[in-house]
């Protein structure tokens, strides 16, 4: 009913607009007065967590992209190797696990059969398991050693939006908590990152409130048959998620690529008018990837691509090569996915709506896949 949708036309639109609180509520109550992270709910001993020397993230669909975002941040902050694996691939390849391996599952529903089976398998092999989950009392948390709940609230639309941002947030908290326990970051560094995280909800709100251009572009592009997405580093999974949203909602062929891979194949796809979305790293990125991605934009544009860029506010360098730029507020480079994802979600929602599709119940898809 209209009331359930809180005045929005669709659950998807409502849920995209609930993202500021999905992130804020996931952060809530997880720090003490001194600004230290307290994750009491993680019922794995501090000693065990101090001994963790490898992390394996297991998930499927959008949740796996949240895991890939987390990999970049956790490896950077904790210096612990993180593997992200699709849960349905994991247990069929003799994975190497020991008691110092922490297995982190990510699941909105907590009921995805592939992920559940992967978690069971990991436990049998002796790993410690933590579930990042949005659904209280669901099966995956019950079968894990510990759970870190995301507080996105119930997600009704089949394609995941607010749960994704909440999953990234929770995974960041887990990474920072490990960094705190293992003394991989100074207290002040953790405080600074938590401070930047606490500003994210208001920044998402700003992205939501300035999304008219995204919507207009989506409506103008409703007859598009193929869209490519490029991203690099922590922006790469954002590109993958942008493409997935478009497939799920608008049934358009969409593909995400690591921008560095462009020259190894995907650039052959570019011809006159091919839309290419580019998620641009922060100009402050410590690896200077910004310049490399800007040259990727030039390369595809020179071959006729219609370039749509998502960049950080103040990034003037992208303007000359982009048909259209969507700016998101500045934040730490590692936190950018919490902002750059939002215009891509809105684009997919609006384009699918313009085509007259049911965005809450896309064809052939289920909210939770409880069969293998």
* Residues forming the active site: 367
CA torsion, ordered 67, 68, 72, 73, to nearest 10 deg: -30
List 22, 69, 122, 159, residue binding ligand G6P (CB under 6 A): 159
Residue 159: alpha-carbon gap to chain centroid: 13
The structure tokens 């190894």 sit at 264
The structure tokens 């293998």 sit at 372
The structure tokens 């000693």 sit at 47
Q: Does 21 bind ligand G6P (CB under 6 A)?
A: no
Distance CA 158, CA 11 (A): 9
Distance CA 304, CA 294 (A): 16
102-121 residues near ligand G6P, rule: CB under 6 A: 107-109, 112, 115
Residue placing its CB nearer to ligand G6P in the complex, 26 or 112: 112
List 60, 207, 250, 276, residue binding ligand G6P (CB under 6 A): 60
Please give the C-alpha separations between residue 313 and each of 160, 189, 197, in angstroms, as whole numbers.
26, 24, 17
Distance CA 296, CA 266 (A): 12
List 63, 129, 296, 353, residue binding ligand G6P (CB under 6 A): 63
Q: Does 280 bind ligand G6P (CB under 6 A)?
A: no
List 37, 49, 69, 158, residue binding ligand G6P (CB under 6 A): 158
Residue 221: alpha-carbon gap to chain centroid: 24
* Binding piece for ligand G6P, criterion CB under 6 A, among 14-22, 71-79, 144-152, 156-164: 156-164
List 160, 233, 345, 353, residue binding ligand G6P (CB under 6 A): 160
* Binding piece for ligand G6P, criterion CB under 6 A, among 155-163, 176-184, 219-227, 253-261: 155-163
Binding positions for ligand G6P, rule: CB under 6 A: 60-63, 107-109, 112, 115, 158-160, 365, 367-369
């Amino acid at each position: 009913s209209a009331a359930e949708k809180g005045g929005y036309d669709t659950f998807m639109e409502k849920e995209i607009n609930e993202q500021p609180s999905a992130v804020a509520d996931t952060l809530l109550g997880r720090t003490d007065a001194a600004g230290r992270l307290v994750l009491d709910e993680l019922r794995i001993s501090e000693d065990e967590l101090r001994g963790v020397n490898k992390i394996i993230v297991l998930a499927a669909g959008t949740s796996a992209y949240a895991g890939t975002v987390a990999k970049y941040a956790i490896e950077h902050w904790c210096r612990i190797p993180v593997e992200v694996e699709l849960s349905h691939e994991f247990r069929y390849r003799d994975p190497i696990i020991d008691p110092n391996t922490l297995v982190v599952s990510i699941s909105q529903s907590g009921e995805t059969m592939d992920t559940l089976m992967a978690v069971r398998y990991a436990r049998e092999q002796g790993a410690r398991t933590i579930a990042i989950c949005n659904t209280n009392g669901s099966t995956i948390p019950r079968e894990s050693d510990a759970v870190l709940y995301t507080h996105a609230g119930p997600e009704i639309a089949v394609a995941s939006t607010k749960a994704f941002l909440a999953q990234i947030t929770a995974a960041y908290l887990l990474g920072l908590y490990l960094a705190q326990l293992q003394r991989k970051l100074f207290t002040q560094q953790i405080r600074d990152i938590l401070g930047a995280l606490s500003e994210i909800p208001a920044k998402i709100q700003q992205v939501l409130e300035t999304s008219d251009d995204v919507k207009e572009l989506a409506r103008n592009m409703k007859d598009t048959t193929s869209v490519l997405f490029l991203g690099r580093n922590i922006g790469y999974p954002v590109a993958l998620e942008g493409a997935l949203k478009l497939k799920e909602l608008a049934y358009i062929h969409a593909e995400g690529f690591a921008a560095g891979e462009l020259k190894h194949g995907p650039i052959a796809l570019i011809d006159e008018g091919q839309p290419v979305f580019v998620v641009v790293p922060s100009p402050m990125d410590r690896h200077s990837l910004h310049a490399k991605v800007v040259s990727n934009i030039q390369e595809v544009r020179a071959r006729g691509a219609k370039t749509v860029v998502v960049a950080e506010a103040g990034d003037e360098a992208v303007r000359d090569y982009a048909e259209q730029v969507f700016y998101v507020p500045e934040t730490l480079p590692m936190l950018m996915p919490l902002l750059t994802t939002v215009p891509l979600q809105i684009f997919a929602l609006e384009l699918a709506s313009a085509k007259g599709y049911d965005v809450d119940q896309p064809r052939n898809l289920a909210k939770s896949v409880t069969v293998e």
